[in-house]
Amino acid sequence: MSQQIHDIFVIGGGINGCGIARDAAGRGYSVALAEMNDFASGTSSGATKLIHGGLRYLEHYEFRLVRESLMERETLWAMAPHIIWPMRFVLPYHKGGIRPAWLIRLGLFLYDHLGGRKLLPPTAVLDMRSDPAGKPLKPLFTKAFEYSDGWVDDARMVVLNARDAADRGALILPRTKVISARRENGLWTIETVETATGRAQTHQARMLVNAAGPWVDRVIREALGNNEAHHVRLVQGSHIVVKKKFEGTRAYFFQNQDNRIIFAIPYETDFTLIGTTDRDYKDDPKDVRISQEETAYLCNAASEYFREPVTQDDIVWTYSAVRPLYDDGASKAQEATRDYVLKLSDGGNAPLLNVFGGKLTTYRRLSEHALEKIAEAIGAKGQPWTAKSHLPGGDFAAQGYEAEVAKLMGKYPFVEERYARRLVRRYGTRAAVILGNATRMEDLGRHFGGGLYEAEVKYLIDREWAMGAEDVLWRRTKDGLRVTEEEAKYLEEYMAAIPARMAG
């Protein structure tokens, strides 16, 4: 039996759970967090990876959500300029489209003026006959609107929140499933089991936070033994990654004839990311996979715009995830609210907070609102603090990425620019921790393919809870796009041998 009684026990290691744990730990609460798999292994690594206001949410009159999201863009950019950066989006327009030009202009005017834009440039109108953005597109698109939003490495944002929570005293338990949670003598007694070893543990906490994302209803039913009403609408979103379709750093926002939208975004230097789909999902979230129908839809929708069609032969990777939207009774999946809902139940002095919905952009504000509910339930500690904070490695100026790359190359002259850019994009100021005392690339240890060296893998094991090749290749990095099957197998064998080698 664990002797410590935590103030808060969080179930779920996605962006909301890790964000709440970080905020709470920073205010002085005693926090534990359990994630049944790896961090961001569900919804939080399956997004379109945007820090955005949600231009299309204006059509559904979600002004509160859009305003909060717009205000968060520059706050998050300043918090983590290594993994978050601004991006310009080109929205091609053609007469006879589903949205008239005046409506798009009105939406973009609101987008520019609803919330706190200081560093991001404003909306512009482009002549696609002369602007380079028109080159990859069919000639029928002569006009476009251009606006600003942000890009984020979603899985890294999750693990950095977990890392910072741990640095501030939180007990972080990856690959630990909550089997049951029950109220006893005014406290929560939480039974967990480690998925790798089967080791069972018992924890106690004054309050329980259920931030299990797509599994939030299942936790209510199975771990808490409560068959109350259904709260979550599961919506599948799938993406394809193809060989690079266009040059430059701008992304495209395409409107489809079925009233849905997709993005085409520069991805990992050499690729283009296209997505997302929106369809209701009824099965187990862990089994979600892109369907043939979705693959064809994304290829066809993008091909309506690009001169050179997108074919299934272009695809190098796909990913799919389930968004746990709050069930507001919307008729279509793409119309269901993207806003979040927090439900507090007291239950006789052992409060429970259930977290429904949310998105990457609003996770920090969701966490602050959750802390308001926590303060109401078990008493306040500390003040809101995350707005002016930095995630690990992000302690440099919002527009200081280039200077950070130059600084790293100055300190380590043997490092090529592409490798320096990659390290700063992932680790920011902590890139120097990985390079350590190296004076040549050979000092970084064995090479696993792509741009992945042993020194980085060891850092991810020691500091970011990576346990297998998939954790490294598809969540901590995206080197899975560049390594061969043989190299991935070699990495898996290397990582599997590490516990035995350390013990011996």
Average pLDDT, the chain: 92
What are 415-460's pLDDT values in tens digits?
999 999 999 999 999 999 999 999 999 999 999 999 999 999 999 9
pLDDT of 181 reads 96
As a whole number of angstroms, the distance between CA 2 and CA 408 comes to 44
**Integer CA distances (angstroms), 82 to 53, 185, 370, 429, 449, in order:** 20, 46, 26, 8, 23
pLDDT of 95 reads 74
Bridge-based pairing state of the strands 232-243 and 279-280: antiparallel
Residue 503 has pLDDT above 50, yes or no: no
What are 61-74's pLDDT values in tens digits?
778 888 888 899 99
Bridge-based pairing state of the strands 50-51 and 143-152: antiparallel
Q: How confident is the model at residue 504 (pLDDT cuts 50, 70, 90)?
A: very low
Percent of the chain with pLDDT over 90: 80
**Integer CA distances (angstroms), 357 to 22, 220, 283, in order:** 19, 15, 18
Do 263 and 254 meet the contact criterion of CB atoms below 8 Å apart? yes
Q: How confident is the model at residue 257 (pLDDT cuts 50, 70, 90)?
A: confident
What are 31-64's pLDDT values in tens digits?
999 999 999 999 999 999 999 987 877 776 778 8
* Domains defined along the chain, listed by start: 5-43+155-230+338-388 (3.50.50.60), 88-151+233-328 (3.30.9.10), 401-503 (1.10.8.870)
Give the DSSP per-residue string, 353-368. Answer: EEEE---GGGHHHHHH
Residue 331 has pLDDT above 80, yes or no: no
For the residues 7-25, what does the mean pLDDT come to? 98
Do 28 and 381 meet the contact criterion of CB atoms below 8 Å apart? yes
Residue 1 has pLDDT above 50, yes or no: no
Query: What is the per-residue burial (b if ≥16 Cβ within 10 Å, else e) of 286-316?
Result: eebebeeebbebbbebbeebbeeebeeebbe
pLDDT of 347 reads 65
pLDDT of 335 reads 65
Residues 6+ apart with CB under 8 A from 8: 20, 21, 24, 29, 30, 31, 32, 205, 206, 207, 208, 209, 374, 378
Task: Look up residue 283 and give its DSSP letter.
Answer: S
Q: Hey, what's the torsion of the CAs at 72, 78, 83, 86, to 10 degrees?
A: 70
Query: What is the per-residue burial (b if ≥16 Cβ within 10 Å, else e) of 439-476?
Result: eebeebeeebbbbbbebbbbbbbebbbbbebbbbbbbb
For the residues 402-410, what does the mean pLDDT come to? 98
Up-side HSE of residue 419: CA atoms within 13 Å toward CB? 18
For the whole prediction, is pTM greater than 0.85?
yes
Evaluated on CA atoms 85, 86, 92, 97, the torsion sign reads positive
- Which range is least confidently modeled, 66-75, 323-332, 458-467, 470-479? 323-332
Do 133 and 250 meet the contact criterion of CB atoms below 8 Å apart? yes
For the residues 461-489, what does the mean pLDDT come to? 97
For the residues 227-245, what does the mean pLDDT come to? 88
What are 132-178's pLDDT values in tens digits?
999 999 999 999 999 999 999 999 999 999 999 999 999 999 999 99
Residues 6+ apart with CB under 8 A from 61: none
For the residues 469-495, what does the mean pLDDT come to? 97
As a whole number of angstroms, the distance between CA 322 and CA 54 comes to 18
pLDDT of 267 reads 97
What are 103-127's pLDDT values in tens digits?
888 888 888 888 778 889 999 999 9
